[in-house]
Every structure is written in C-alpha cells, then in structure tokens.
Structure 1
C-alpha cells in the first residue's frame, strides 16, 4: 500500500485529501498545512479537515516532520513553501505537485490573472491544470498529466479559478490509479518535449499593475478598450483589491461586473474540456 505525506491548503487541498483518504490503496502518514488559527482568504481549513479524517497534522513550520516518515509519495496541493532538496529527495517514488496552471506554459504565481492578460495576444483561450514531479526549480519537473478548461470572454480571474478547481479534482482523482500502480515515472514527460510560449511569474508580478489611468479608460479605440477590459477581468479576484482608477483624489474600484453588456459580440473560440492524460496498463 503506497504511503503518502500530504502538503496543502485551499478547498482543493481538502478535496484531494478526501480522495486519497477514501481510496483504499493509500496510507496517509502525515498532513502539513496552515495552522487552524491562521488568517487565510479562502473558506475551510485543511488542518481541521485532516484531523476529522483521523490523520496526524502539523503546521508549515514543522514540515521537516515529513522526514520522520517512510513515504512513497509527497503530494503537494496549494502548498506555499518551496521545498528543499532533502524533502524532495525523501519519498521513495516521487514528490508530486498539482499545479493550477498549464505547464510548461505558466510557471510561478498569479497565473490566473496572467492567462487572461495573455489570452488575446497569444490567441490561447484555454487554461490548464498539471500534475507534475517536483524538481529543485519551481514548477519545472516532468509532467504526469494535464487537463484543460476554456478561458471565456467574460471570465474573471476568480471565475477561472473556480472552474479549474473542478478540472483539477477530476485530474487528481484519475491519476490516483497511476500512483497506486507506481507508474508515475513511466508516464512522466520532460517539459522540454512541449512546444509553445513559456512564462514565469513571481508573487510580485502584479505589483503596480492595478491602477488604470482615467484617460486610458476614456480611450475610444477598440484595441485600448479591449486591453482595459481584459485587465479589469484579470485583476477581479475577490477578496483581493481589484483594478482601480484615480479621479479627483479618490480611488474608484473597477470590476468586470461593470462590463457585462460590452464586447458581447467578440469572437472567441469555444473549447470543450480537453485532457492529454496517458493511459497506463499494469505490468
């Protein structure tokens, strides 16, 4: 029975932990997450959920407790810490991360916003989620499987986040069979095998990007209007501060809701959910 150390947060982390716990093939040795008293913006608490499922739980400051357990997999789902070589080398089979973006296209942070900002210029109207082997470089390891959802013309960063959460859970559930069979390294594909644009964004990548000058809002050419529209959508992620403009010394916040009846006739491809997961047969 494969053993697991689970590191994570967010509602998706809770749901993925429930999937592993409910699967008879896995033994969860330890859960590492935010403490129950920490202030987080999302609903739910993985710490409390893990305890209710009967697991041993520690906080992020105690993550090295993983080294006290003989585990086959280290599974990360929205875990914020960058893991050092000792932790990455610890599992017998592989350290895995469920990254909420398409790899190798989008590494790093703030990817929901940047995918919307880039979609029109790149003509890339899909958003991915990726299960990959963790490597010393952030989000650079071999890809086990991906799944995609469309980026819609009216999407905000938050609606895209909500939609890909469901696709991520489906992908994770499907790939538990790959983990059970020990087939991770047989199906994993180096990122160098993929074509297309590649971006890396830091946590600070949106700093200074939220102010939209009033004259830019008033521009009447279509290119500027669409760029403003896309920026407002890309920065609309409650409960965080959205885009804004300054008028008469006052800050006015801008959200996509203000644009519901604009650009409705814009032509955007309509993609169905796609998957390029690899079917694996037993030895």
Structure 2
C-alpha cells in the first residue's frame, strides 16, 4: 500500500470542510481553523486517525471479516463500487434501503429472488417466455441488481461498515449502531461523529478526497489478507510492530528533547561561570588599580614632606 502523507491530502483537498455556519460543534477537535468562512480540517489529526482506521481494517481483513462499503453520493458511488470489487467486499453504491441491516431477513429473500432471476437469464430461459413476461423479469432483475447487486454475496450481516459521509448515510449508521456493528466513517465538519467508531475527519464531497480514502481502505484489505496468506507476519504482529515503532519514535523524541534541555542547561551554566570569572577579574583589576593609586598617593605625600623639611632647615641657618 502506498503511504499517504500530508502532501497527498493537501493535493486531494482533504482539508476543505464546509462553510462555518453549517459546522457541527462536535467536530471542533478535528478543525484547524477557518479561511474565507470555510472550516479547515486539521490534517495531522486526520492522518493519525486514518492510520489507526487502516490498521483496524487490516486486522479485520486478515480474519476474513466482511466490511460493507457504503457511499451513495454521486462523488462516491463509482469509487465505492470499483474499490469494493477490487477488495472483494460487499458494497452499496445506490440508495440505501431502509432495513437493509435491521430487517436483513426480508432483504435476503429479495437477494434470493435476484439470484434466481440471474440463473434463469444465464440459462436463456427468458427467451422461452412471452416477450412481455420476459421484459418484466429483466426489469425486475435490473432493479434488484441496482439495489442489492453489491451485497448479494455478503452471506449475512457485515462485520463492519466503511461509510463515506456519515450524515448522508445516517440511516445506515443508525442501523449499524442498533446492531452493534462497528463503523469506519469519513466525517466532514458539518457532520456528527457520534456513533462512528473510527472517525476519519475530512472532505467528503470532493472526488479526489473520497477516492483517497476508499482506495486506502481497499489497499489495507488486500494487504491484510496477504499477511495471513503468506504465513509470515500476522495482522496482530503488524499492529504490534506499528505500535512498537510509534513507541520507539516517541522515546527518540523524548530523548532528543532531554538532550536538548541538558545542552541548554550546560550552556547556561558555562555562560554563568564565564560571567562569574569575568566579574571576579574585573573586581581584581579594580582592586589592583586602587592599590596602585593608593601607593602613588602615599609616595607623593612622602616626597612633599621631605621637601618641606629641607626648606625649614635653610631658614634656621640664616
């Protein structure tokens, strides 16, 4: 999986939120600021949370868990479909049908109907029917394919949901919450992150931004499955290794900060010692100068007294 950096997010426009008047206060921890009345998402926080979400996705995929991709918006539907197919995961790229999770028994009946129609079409049985009846069955099959084609091979309730724009897909989020299904969600500044287990704060409208999230999740799924298939490093080891690397990096930063503090203190002590020595030298020089001045004054006084004594002797002789 290609590493995602801050530059990739900037180029994709991940940092652009919605207008400030439409913001949800619950998103304040993920907002960096605003510009031209548009909120700016904190990309460093987004990158951190995205990496955490991808680590969880790898772990789920390595255990052969089903992750349902959900994105019915125009900017997300095509990418959701393409990447879910690549990752061999179920998806919903059209309208979310109410009860798709909470009333899965009824949905399963519709899936069976779709499977039967596809089997009849594959065996060319429609050609044996009257044109009107064949047309009706084909229309029914097309309708079911658009609604349920992405989940017909799911085989049961998914183990997790990956949702693009949790506000637009609120029904799906509510159903998953009722059933206790964990959610990985792209959450914009106007959305409520409540009920989302792994929040990915960022732009959920721009095609390039959406493509970045969805492709990263699909890559993580493919990578997670390879970890177990190769019989090498397990997903648990991968997560543990990532945590260890993070701890090492944190320790290195702490050590560097400690060394920098020690160097600063040592430099300050050196400067203080130099200042003390300089002050002592100055005091010593001042004392020396004072002593010299005192000696000179004493010598001058002695000379004056001698001359005065000599003058007094001459007057006596006269």
Structure having the higher Rg:
2
Q: Normalising by structure 1, report the TM-score.
A: 0.30
Kindly indicate whether structure 1 or structure 2 has the higher relative contact order, using CA contacts under 8 Å at least 6 residues apart: 2
Q: Normalising by structure 2, report the TM-score.
A: 0.28
Higher helix fraction (1 or 2): 2
